C-alpha cells in the first residue's frame, strides 16, 4: 500500500559527493562558484532520488495513509515505505475513534528493512485498530531511509550525479531539445539501472 503523502522531516546531514569532488569532475578551479556547486549537488541528488525511487543519504521522512492496508492473497497486510533503503521506523501514529492521536504498539507490527521498498507488516494474530471516521489521513509513519554515508552510495549513481552537475554548471540556460547534450541522457541511463523495483 503506497502513501497519500511523503514529506521530508529531517534533511540529510551530508551529500553523496563533496564540493571538492564535484569541482574536480567539472574542472572548476575557482572558489567563486562554490555556492552554485553546492546547489547543483543537492539538485543532482534530488534528481537521482526521483529517478531511482531511492533515498541516497540518510534522512527522516513522514508518510501519511488514509486507511490500514487490505489483506492480500497471502494473508499479509502491510504498508510499503517509499525511498529504500529503509533503516528504521520511529513510530506509527493514528487517530482513534475518539479523535485522539495514538502511537501504535510495536507488538502489533513488524518492520522489514531487507525488502525494497521496506515494509511495515501486521504481525500474525494481530489486528489494526479502528480509526477516526472522516479524517483524511489518520495514519502517519515516521522513518529513516537512505544510505548511511557517501561511501555506501553506489558509484553509478554518483557518476550520474557528476554528469548532471558538470552539464548544469556549463549549461546555465535551458537548452532546446535539438541542442541537448549526451550527459543528461547518460545520467538517466545510470539512474535507471539502479531504480527500485516496486514489484518485489
- pLDDT over threshold 70, residue 138: yes
Specify the length of the chain in residues: 200
pTM of the model: 0.85
Whether the Cβ atoms of residue 137 and residue 66 lie closer than 8 Å to each other: yes
- State residue 200's pLDDT score: 42
181 has a pLDDT exceeding 60: no
Binned at pLDDT 50, 70 and 90, residue 188 comes out as confident
Reported as a pLDDT band with limits 50, 70 and 90, residue 178 is very low
Q: What is the pLDDT of residues 23-75, one digit of tens each?
A: 999 999 999 999 999 999 999 999 999 999 999 999 999 999 999 999 999 99
Q: What is the pLDDT of residue 182?
A: 57
Non-local (6+) Cβ contacts of 173 within 8 A are none
Mean pLDDT value of segment 116-129: 96
The mean predicted confidence, pLDDT, of the chain is 90
36-40: list long-range contacts, CB under 8 Å, 24+ apart: 36/169, 37/165, 37/169, 40/164, 40/165, 40/168, 40/169
- Condensed to tens digits (0 to 9), the pLDDT of residues 9-25 reads 999 999 999 999 999 99
Distance in angstroms (rounded) separating the CA atoms of residues 146 and 154: 12
Indicate the pLDDT class of residue 2, thresholds 50, 70 and 90: confident
Amino acid at each position: 500500500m503506497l502513501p497519500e503523502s511523503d514529506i521530508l522531516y529531517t534533511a540529510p546531514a551530508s551529500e553523496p559527493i563533496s564540493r571538492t569532488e564535484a569541482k574536480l569532475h567539472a574542472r572548476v578551479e575557482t572558489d567563486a562558484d562554490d555556492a552554485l556547486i553546492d546547489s547543483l549537488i543537492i539538485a543532482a541528488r534530488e534528481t537521482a532520488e526521483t529517478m531511482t525511487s531511492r533515498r541516497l543519504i540518510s534522512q527522516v521522512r513522514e508518510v501519511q495513509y488514509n486507511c490500514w492496508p487490505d489483506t492480500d492473497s497471502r494473508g499479509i497486510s502491510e504498508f510499503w515505505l517509499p525511498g529504500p533503503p529503509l533503516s528504521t521506523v520511529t513510530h506509527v501514529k493514528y487517530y482513534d475513534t475518539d479523535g485522539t492521536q495514538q502511537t501504535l504498539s510495536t507488538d502489533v507490527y513488524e518492520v522489514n528493512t531487507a525488502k525494497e521498498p521496506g515494509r511495515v507488516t501486521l504481525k500474525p494474530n494481530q489486528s489494526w485498530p479502528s480509526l477516526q471516521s472522516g479524517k483524511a489521513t489518520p495514519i502517519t509513519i515516521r522513518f529513516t531511509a537512505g544510505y548511511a554515508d557517501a561511501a555506501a552510495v553506489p558509484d553509478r549513481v554518483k557518476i550520474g550525479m557528476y554528469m548532471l552537475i558538470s552539464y548544469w554548471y556549463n549549461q546555465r540556460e535551458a537548452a532546446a531539445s535539438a541542442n541537448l547534450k549526451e550527459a543528461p541522457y547518460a545520467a538517466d541511463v545510470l539512474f535507471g539501472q539502479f531504480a527500485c523495483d516496486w514489484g518485489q
